[in-house]
């Protein structure tokens, strides 16, 4: 026991050894939250307070779940197999597999990933002859998933206009299509499992009695349905229910666009009457200057639960700030700094270039390429999302479930076998008439379409028959050959890499088989024909959602701030710190949008271990237009004593009172530099800011006949096409054409 709890700081020890009560752990960036969560589970089991089967632990990525299981296996002399530790979607899938009849699903139901779901929606719109310009498939996908994440079935959706009513009807048709094809999307996994537990009281009571401790990682990223799902297992916080141990950081809640609800933390504290709120504030990642900057920035947000990161690692280096004339200059400077760092012995893989918007990456990539510096854009296509793998999985899904229309449509003519769009249109119409799947409809067709499609059906039947008794890796190998995929890519001049990926799929199947046999004994998993295949396909769908970085390459890492969450690097460059870019211009118009942008900034800053660079450009090419921007307010929020300006900071007119809701004035560096105390020589403003018609410039207060007084915060274009972005305070932020606006300097 003493070994297990050794090397924990006082706050970590307090959290790990809490009695069986509800608790909220506010774990700051780099404070060891994963260690606390894992050690808590190990301590509960080792001290005899709960059996491994009585633990329910929820994470947000498969990677995190695997890491937790690996750590537990090293800590405890007990098997972690069979423990309910996984993602919300993974655990929901497990629950639905075990109780598929009660959930109204076949045992071998398939899971649609995001791309497959979009394909299914497109197919539905075509079947119903719905104009996809009026109802864009992606928007409809977002609407459906949003309603499911809110816990709403079609009959419960409020529709106040004709457009919404039509979307609700399409949602209903989509549900019917999925039920007919025995498929579920990601959002359905969670909603279906929630509904199952909500309406089936004996089943709900069973799991409430079983799970005595519920532990949740990244609690700030939960949406409303996920929180309600957890509450069901915890018996709504009633006396005698499971103890909820939630770990999160409200300052790192940056996924509102995905439905994340940071208010869940406050609701949990209130509804579960949480008396144990423990703050993990000691940071083991970054030096003090970086943490002090992060603390100062996030302090400007309201409604925080509150914490203050600190470290005993010393102040470290000052935060370096660079002002460039244009975005190309900014990129060149970043590349030169990277070259200097590498010459000094730094690893390229420990250098990250972060940006708010993907549109910023082009100029950075161009400069890196020109300098011959290897780089990788984090978040490219993952293994299970590659085209050839998706094709192979579609054939495998048809073996497990021939009624999967999405998979049928994907490979019915791939590799090409003379089945054209007209034949598929006839098949789709007939399927709707007979209310059957595409596969089951083929025997009803005659003529050329019927003959061509019958050949494909016979191929699938042959695959199902020939693979019934094969081990999973051999099954996959057989399908790759008989489907024609291997032959197709062998004939392709550029198919070598795709063939290697197909071979890797066989390796993935072999690894999955080995793990399944280790958990349940060799042969048991194959007791039912194709049962293991269904599990493998579910695994592939769930894995497709995780970001997996390539291993072993010493390359500079490029990524958005969103993608950087959970990662850390020795050196971090954060570029594009300009108003309208970071914070993003849309955030100013959204409720709590600016606070979410500030949380993003907090996440970006805390990715750095030793050295942090902040940079901005006076002008930037975005979407084919040159834009002139003020430097970001977030720079002003960093205390001057923590920074070292690599360029003499140019004074800019403070926009203070005129900015209204924009948050006050902008960065006004002190007369002395942060490091060394040497007075800086002020630099005259760049002439580019005086080139606007009428003698106007960025940062100038102006008056408009309709919107009142405001401040120019950005500009783009030139001549008659020149536009300015103006913050009019209560009237909001507007883009106005200079030639028409009739602005008067104030």
User: Which residues form the catalytic set?
Assistant: 33-34, 217-218, 252, 607
Give 736's strand partners. Answer: 724
Give 392's strand partners. Answer: none
Round to whole Å and give the CA distance between 24 and 262: 13
Per the structure block, which two tokens stand in for 295?
């603390």
Query: Contact, 262 vs 8, CB < 8 A?
Result: no
- 3-class SS of residue 184: strand
- 438's CB contacts (< 8 A; 6+ apart) are 405, 408, 409, 412, 427, 428, 431
Query: Contact, 649 vs 667, CB < 8 A?
Result: yes
Round to whole Å and give the CA distance between 304 and 309: 14
Cα 55 to Cα 42, 194, 233, 373: the distances in Å are 10, 19, 11, 47
Round to whole Å and give the CA distance between 122 and 177: 12
* Beta strands per DSSP E along 242-308: 243-248, 276-280
Other CB atoms within 10 A of residue 444 CB? 13
Per the structure block, which two tokens stand in for 431?
């399927």
Query: Contact, 710 vs 726, CB < 8 A?
Result: yes
Instruction: Write the DSSP string, 538-564.
Output: HHHHHHTTS--PPSS---EEEEEHHHH
Instruction: Write the DSSP string, 597-642.
Output: HHHHHHHHHTTEEEEEEEEEEEEEEETTEEEEEPBPHHHHTS-GGG
Round to whole Å and give the CA distance between 697 and 688: 9
Round to whole Å and give the CA distance between 614 and 171: 45
Query: Contact, 116 vs 391, CB < 8 A?
Result: no
- 589's CB contacts (< 8 A; 6+ apart) are 732, 733
| Side-chain half-sphere CA neighbours of 343 within 13 A | 6
At residue 688, what are phi and psi to the nearest 5 degrees?
-60, -30
Q: What one-character DSSP code corresponds to residue 720?
A: G
**b/e string for 560-573 if b means 16 or more Cβ within 10 A?**
bbbbbbbbbbebbb
At residue 559, what are phi and psi to the nearest 5 degrees?
-165, 160
Query: Contact, 533 vs 400, CB < 8 A?
Result: yes
Per the structure block, which two tokens stand in for 511?
């690894």
Element (H, E) at 41: helix 33-46
Cα 331 to Cα 371, 574, 631, 643: the distances in Å are 11, 11, 16, 20
Q: Are strands 351-355 and 569-574 parallel, antiparallel or unpaired?
A: parallel
Round to whole Å and give the CA distance between 466 and 174: 33
Round to whole Å and give the CA distance between 585 and 677: 35
Query: Contact, 604 vs 564, CB < 8 A?
Result: yes
Cα 716 to Cα 325, 684, 690, 719: the distances in Å are 15, 21, 13, 10
At residue 160, what are phi and psi to the nearest 5 degrees?
-100, -5
Query: Contact, 190 vs 225, CB < 8 A?
Result: yes
Size of the chain, expressed as the number of residues it contains = 746
Residue whose structure tokens are 């194709």: 530
Q: What one-character DSSP code corresponds to residue 135?
A: S
């Amino acid at each position: 026991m003493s070994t297990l709890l050794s090397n924990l700081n006082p706050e970590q020890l307090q959290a790990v050894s809490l009695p069986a009560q509800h608790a909220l752990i506010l774990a700051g960036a780099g404070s060891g939250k994963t260690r606390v969560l894992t050690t808590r589970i190990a301590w509960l089991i080792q001290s005899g307070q709960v059996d491994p089967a009585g633990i329910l632990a929820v994470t947000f990525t498969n990677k995190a779940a695997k890491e937790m299981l690996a750590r537990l296996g090293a800590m405890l002399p007990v098997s972690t197999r069979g423990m309910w530790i996984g993602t919300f979607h993974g655990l929901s899938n497990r629950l639905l597999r075990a109780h598929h009849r009660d959930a109204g699903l076949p045992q071998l139901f398939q899971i649609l990933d995001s791309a497959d779901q979009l394909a299914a929606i497109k197919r539905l719109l075509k079947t119903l002859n719905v104009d996809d310009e009026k109802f864009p498939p992606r928007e409809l996908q977002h609407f459906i998933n949003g309603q499911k994440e809110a816990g709403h079935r079609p009959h419960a959706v409020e529709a106040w206009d004709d457009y919404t009513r039509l979307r609700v009807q399409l949602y209903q048709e989509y549900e019917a299509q999925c039920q007919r094809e025995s498929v579920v999307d990601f959002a359905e996994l969670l909603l279906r499992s929630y509904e199952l537990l909500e309406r089936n009281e004996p089943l709900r009571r069973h799991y409430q009695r079983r799970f005595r401790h519920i532990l949740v990682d990244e609690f700030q990223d939960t949406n409303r349905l996920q929180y309600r799902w957890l509450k069901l297992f915890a018996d709504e916080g009633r006396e005698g229910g499971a103890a909820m141990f939630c770990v999160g950081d409200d300052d790192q809640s940056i996924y509102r666009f995905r439905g994340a609800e940071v208010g869940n933390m406050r609701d949990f504290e209130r509804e579960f009457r949480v008396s144990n709120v423990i703050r993990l504030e000691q940071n083991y990642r970054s030096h003090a200057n970086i943490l002090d900057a992060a603390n100062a920035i996030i302090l400007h947000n309201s409604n925080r639960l509150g914490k203050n990161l600190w470290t005993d690692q010393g102040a470290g280096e000052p935060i370096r700030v660079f002002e460039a004339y244009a975005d190309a200059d900014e990129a060149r400077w970043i590349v030169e700094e990277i070259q200097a760092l590498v010459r000094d012995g730094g690893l390229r893989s420990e250098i990250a270039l972060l940006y708010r918007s993907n549109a910023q990456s082009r100029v950075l990539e161009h400069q890196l390429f020109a300098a011959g510096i290897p780089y990788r854009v984090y978040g490219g296509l993952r293994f299970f999302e590659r085209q050839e793998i998706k094709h192979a999985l579609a054939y495998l899904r048809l073996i497990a479930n021939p009624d999967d229309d999405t998979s049928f449509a994907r490979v019915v003519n791939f590799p090409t076998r003379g089945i054209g769009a007209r034949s598929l249109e006839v098949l789709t119409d007939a399927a709707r008439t007979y209310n059957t799947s595409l596969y089951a409809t083929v025997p009803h067709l005659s003529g050329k379409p019927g003959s061509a499609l019958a050949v494909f059906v016979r191929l699938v039947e042959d695959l199902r028959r020939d693979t019934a008794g094969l081990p999973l890796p051999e099954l996959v190998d057989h399908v790759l050959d008989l489907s024609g995929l291997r032959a197709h890519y062998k004939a392709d001049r550029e198919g070598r890499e795709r063939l290697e990926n197909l071979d890797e799929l066989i390796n993935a199947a072999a690894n999955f088989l080995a793990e399944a046999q280790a958990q349940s004994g060799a042969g048991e998993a194959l007791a039912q024909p194709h049962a293991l295949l269904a599990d493998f396909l579910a695994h592939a769908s769930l894995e497709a959602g995780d970001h997996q970085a390539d291993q072993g390459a010493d390359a500079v890492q490029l990524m958005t701030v969103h993608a950087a969450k959970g990662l850390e690097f020795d050196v971090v460059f954060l570029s594009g710190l300009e108003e309208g870019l970071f914070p993003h211009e849309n955030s100013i118009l959204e409720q709590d949008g600016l606070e979410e942008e500030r949380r993003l900034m907090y996440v970006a800053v805390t990715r750095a271990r030793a050295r942090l660079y902040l940079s901005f450009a006076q002008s930037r090419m975005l979407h084919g237009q040159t834009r002139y921007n003020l430097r970001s307010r977030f720079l002003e929020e960093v205390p001057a004593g923590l920074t070292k300006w690599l360029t003499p900071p140019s004074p800019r007119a403070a926009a203070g009172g005129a900015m209204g809701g924009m948050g006050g004035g902008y960065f006004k560096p002190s007369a002395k530099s942060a490091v060394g105390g040497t007075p800086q020589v002020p630099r005259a403003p760049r002439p580019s800011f005086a080139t606007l018609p009428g003698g106007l410039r960025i940062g100038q207060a102006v008056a408009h006949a309709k919107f009142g007084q405001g401040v120019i915060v950005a500009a783009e274009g030139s001549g008659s096409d020149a536009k300015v972005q103006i913050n009019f305070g209560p009237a909001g932020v507007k883009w106005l054409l200079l030639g028409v606006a009739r602005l008067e300097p104030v």
